Chains A and B, each alone.
Chain A
């Protein structure tokens, strides 16, 4: 494959682009008959093939080539362009995308607009017309705005449609902004703690792209598991494997679960207790410091607060990192490997050995997933893990990394704009139930309210799009259920979905959506290493029943609110006109990309481009010249000691167990393995991403459910004590609720720890025993927010398990 190394462009030849997107009938004429006799469903009529994408929130984004006949989807393939050479590889869909036919054709998909007639959560609805739905929503929205102001409207978090431009769970922002604004949110359920914390250290949250592992000698996966999270054949797990094949880098996996990222590919698996990441790091740091394996020159030149030399003037004496580690700080405790062993469960010798490898094998690609940060002490965990990269000087170099999540190059695709929000106040993403329940009590220093000292009004209207958050993905479902029962609190809940999910049962108005596969959009890559791409999608079939595309639904609501709002929302453009505009803007930055009309005529297509700089190296400019290219921290340097955090720690209202600290120290946090509550609920419970779903998306597809049964992982030692055998149905419970599912008795998890694959569909009689028979982890998770981000600590839970 010829590469234009000057520009880094990876030209797909026009023939490749055309040949794969053409109608099969045209291909027949050219002498080959791709699927004439082997399509799964019988019937005459020519087969149409269009490009589309699997647009769920896994962090990858895959190409689909959808085959339909007589306006019915019959089969799905994936990217087949080029010769699949690494660097111009095919963006191959995983098992989920390959099963999308059963989603598209699912008999349970919503077909008509409906309004709720039973209680919230009961699931009783009656069919209404679209015009009635628009009027009900428009009138009530206007009433709420007049009575309470736009601050009373909240667009709930959701990611069920992700990566599309028009088809995007956040696109209702644009509707609300056209209507005067809404109470926004910051952070995400994926990254609340790390996104809040890492900028205090680096001024950002960037990482090297995983392709850069081809320059590494060591890879340290700290709670990072791309084989079960970013599974695309053009995504992170593919890059990690390909790059390691080139560099032969050793790989150490640190995780309470023996993940599929490990599964024999690891050189070492270190199993630590959930929530003790910062303690493990401190033990490693002790060895690095005492054996003089730290990169002192790097620490002196680029960092603040490692030792006395670079400690800010405002900081107390001996409040630097080295003093904390060596026991010369206020706690007078040396963070030796033996100290860390008692907390983490990792043998001291293993910690020492890890430190020696980190101190000698360079460059090292130290990368964390988002599990360690989704903890009660997650902000501290994420900054602590970054310390491994900082102490060893692996930041800003090829083959190294910052200790944050892996980065990705971007082709610079154009995004559909959301307009400006006139309402400036925002809440932490995780705190919306509180904003309904006790909104006006919520303050900046206690609840993380931003741009205002306190909320003026509680949330009176929730707007949900592809958001199975209410009763599936938000913590403590039973609590949320109670809060939403009082219909005078949150007066209106509107939702646009594809299925009657457990959350949709709480909507007052429920509208039926189309899949990305059924409409035109321009989909952009997500975490895709150094090869960016965009997929121009064409509808595989027409819209069935009374389903409508999101753009049309939101336009209809805008119109019901007012003519001016409608004009602001649409700017007089149709969805196709917007896609044409977005293609043109994206093409401005990618001149070799085919035009909108070319793509459309071909049934859509994929355009790929390799990063000009080959690998993304986070903070390379800073490393090369820290004076000319300072970080965006106040000091311009890496802030191991953060004065900003010292200020927050001194001024915020915090329970003593909720710790904000200028240094990335180990602070145990609530509901830890040593909490007194562990006498009653002795097992730690985390949640992992499951291959059969992306969060709750694809959670009702029969073949995926059969291939990926909903099972709680439990070590044989813990199972035996409870008389539980592999495959038994068990009850998992704590004070918040009870869920029932199968037991996977496996040595692949640390004793004392259990894990439920998150995202399974909640299935309980909420007006009866409230026992969830779907194995939904959020029956058991805590609604208590983390200290700094006020984020979701969904891996910090204590439970007990019993055989049914």
Chain B
């Protein structure tokens, strides 16, 4: 089976959220469903020295959709077998089978599954698989990125081009065994390793 995945360049990413808003437009999502979430990770301290200040402040952004994991823990935990993984490795939810219990959201280390209050079902990023299949286009978020910080394609090729880093603080959001996310990250120069405690998630209201 092939496996497609996302690449994100966190040197380029300014946290502008265009990816998320393009997704919201294309998928017609309301305010409370975010197939892409942009995490602001920030930290550092200030020290006064007379009238002057010194600091070691840092901040950077991480844009996360669904990582279409090689070991999708959402799929394993779905009680109604509503989640499947297709021939390109894309993990998606079959609304007809979904009972909206939220088990997938509870276990996903990336908060990818999002509850749809209108239909009482779970929903999430499917890497725009209809769009990509029909037109050969990239997912809408990738084509939207003003800074060309996102890409999508064969994870093997992305890893060959950009390395194998697949985690950076603050992701994954949950500790535990890796779900083998299909993502390649080029870290920000101030990037901190996954599990870092020197910073905090600085925009919890937005994700």
Q: What residues of B have a CB within 8 angstroms of the CB of A750 in the complex?
A: 53
Q: What residues of B have a CB within 8 angstroms of the CB of A32 in the complex?
A: 134-135
Of A76, A269, A727, A747, the residue contacting B46 (CB under 8 A) is A747
Nearest B-chain residue to A235, judged by Cβ: B146
A237 to B204, CA, bound (A): 26
Of A232, A342, A345, A727, the residue contacting B53 (CB under 8 A) is A345
Q: What residues of A have a CB within 8 angstroms of the CB of B99 in the complex?
A: none
Q: Is the CB of A94 within 8 A of B18?
A: yes
Q: What residues of B have a CB within 8 angstroms of the CB of A260 in the complex?
A: 14-16, 61
Interface range on chain A (Cβ under 8 Å from partner): 35 or more
Nearest A-chain residue to B189, judged by Cβ: A264
A3 to B60, CA, bound (A): 37
Main secondary structure of the interface of B (DSSP, over half): mixed
A427 to B94, CA, bound (A): 64
Q: Is the CB of A269 within 8 A of B11?
A: no
B85 at the interface (CB under 8 A from A): no
A138 to B206, CA, bound (A): 48
Q: Is the CB of A264 within 8 A of B17?
A: no
Query: Which A residues between 691 and 735 are near B, CB-CB below 8 angstroms?
Result: 691, 702-709, 715-717, 726-727
Q: What residues of A have a CB within 8 angstroms of the CB of B25 in the complex?
A: 40, 75-76, 98-99, 101-102
Q: A32-B135, A709-B206 are in contact. Are A84 and B57 (CB under 8 A)?
A: no
A341 to B51, CA, bound (A): 7
Q: Is the CB of A347 within 8 A of B54?
A: yes
A93 to B25, CA, bound (A): 13
Q: Is the CB of B188 within 8 A of A747?
A: no
Q: Is the CB of A233 within 8 A of B146?
A: yes
Of B43, B49, B60, B145, the residue contacting A263 (CB under 8 A) is B60
Q: A264-B190, A747-B45 are in contact. Are A38 and B51 (CB under 8 A)?
A: no
Query: Which A residues between 215 and 243 are near B, CB-CB below 8 angstroms?
Result: 227-228, 231-233, 235, 237-238, 241
Q: What residues of A have a CB within 8 angstroms of the CB of B15 in the complex?
A: 260, 263, 691
B20 at the interface (CB under 8 A from A): yes
Q: Is the CB of B32 within 8 A of A263?
A: no
Q: What residues of B have a CB within 8 angstroms of the CB of A318 in the complex?
A: none
Q: Is the CB of A717 within 8 A of B20?
A: no
Interface range on chain B (Cβ under 8 Å from partner): 35 or more
Q: What residues of A have a CB within 8 angstroms of the CB of B191 in the complex?
A: 264
Interface centre among B18, B50, B205 (most CB of A within 10 A): B18
Q: Is the CB of B146 within 8 A of A269?
A: no
Of A40, A235, A706, the residue contacting B27 (CB under 8 A) is A40
Q: What residues of B have a CB within 8 angstroms of the CB of A747 in the complex?
A: 42-46, 55, 57
Residues 106-145 of chain B, each 1 if its beta carbon lies under 8 Å from chain A, else 0: 0000000000000000000000101100110000100111
A445 at the interface (CB under 8 A from B): no
Of B51, B52, B144, the residue contacting A98 (CB under 8 A) is B144
Q: Is the CB of A258 within 8 A of B206?
A: no
Q: What residues of B have a CB within 8 angstroms of the CB of A751 in the complex?
A: 46, 48, 53
Residues 242-272 of chain A, each 1 if its beta carbon lies under 8 Å from chain B, else 0: 0000000000000000101111110001010
B177 at the interface (CB under 8 A from A): no
Q: What residues of A have a CB within 8 angstroms of the CB of B205 in the complex?
A: 709, 727, 742
Q: What residues of B have a CB within 8 angstroms of the CB of A92 in the complex?
A: 18, 144-146
Of B11, B32, B38, B51, the residue contacting A706 (CB under 8 A) is B32
A232 to B146, CA, bound (A): 6
A98 to B29, CA, bound (A): 13
A709 to B17, CA, bound (A): 13
Q: What residues of A have a CB within 8 angstroms of the CB of B11 in the complex?
A: 264-265
A237 to B18, CA, bound (A): 14
Q: Is the CB of B31 within 8 A of A94?
A: no
Q: A98-B18, A746-B202 are in contact. Are A271 and B55 (CB under 8 A)?
A: yes
Q: A94-B18, A747-B43 are in contact. Are A263 and B188 (CB under 8 A)?
A: yes
Of A34, A41, A76, A231, the residue contacting B146 (CB under 8 A) is A231
Q: Is the CB of B59 within 8 A of A38?
A: no
Q: Is the CB of A748 within 8 A of B42?
A: yes
B24 at the interface (CB under 8 A from A): yes
B22 at the interface (CB under 8 A from A): yes
Nearest B-chain residue to A38, judged by Cβ: B130
Of A40, A75, A102, A265, the residue contacting B189 (CB under 8 A) is A265
Q: A231-B18, A691-B15, A702-B30 are in contact. List 20 more A-B contacts (CB 8 A).
A: A34-B135, A40-B25, A77-B143, A92-B145, A93-B18, A94-B146, A227-B14, A233-B147, A233-B148, A238-B148, A258-B57, A260-B14, A264-B10, A264-B191, A691-B17, A703-B24, A726-B204, A727-B205, A746-B202, A751-B53
29 contacts between A and B (CB under 8 A): A32-B134, A32-B135, A33-B135, A34-B135, A38-B26, A40-B27, A93-B144, A96-B21, A99-B21, A99-B25, A101-B25, A227-B14, A232-B146, A233-B18, A233-B148, A235-B146, A258-B59, A260-B14, A260-B16, A262-B59, A263-B59, A341-B50, A341-B51, A702-B31, A703-B21, A707-B38, A727-B205, A750-B53, A751-B48
Listed in ascending order, the chain B residues whose CB lies under 8 Å from chain A are: 10-12, 14-18, 20-22, 24-32, 38, 42-46, 48-55, 57-61, 128, 130-131, 134-135, 140, 143-148, 188-191, 202, 204-206
Listed in ascending order, the chain A residues whose CB lies under 8 Å from chain B are: 32-38, 40-41, 75-78, 80, 84, 92-96, 98-99, 101-102, 227-228, 231-233, 235, 237-238, 241, 258, 260-265, 269, 271, 341-342, 344-348, 691, 702-709, 715-717, 726-727, 742, 744, 746-748, 750-751
Which 9 residue pairs are nearest across A and B when measured between Cβ atoms?
A40-B28, A233-B146, A264-B190, A706-B31, A95-B21, A264-B188, A227-B14, A264-B60, A95-B18
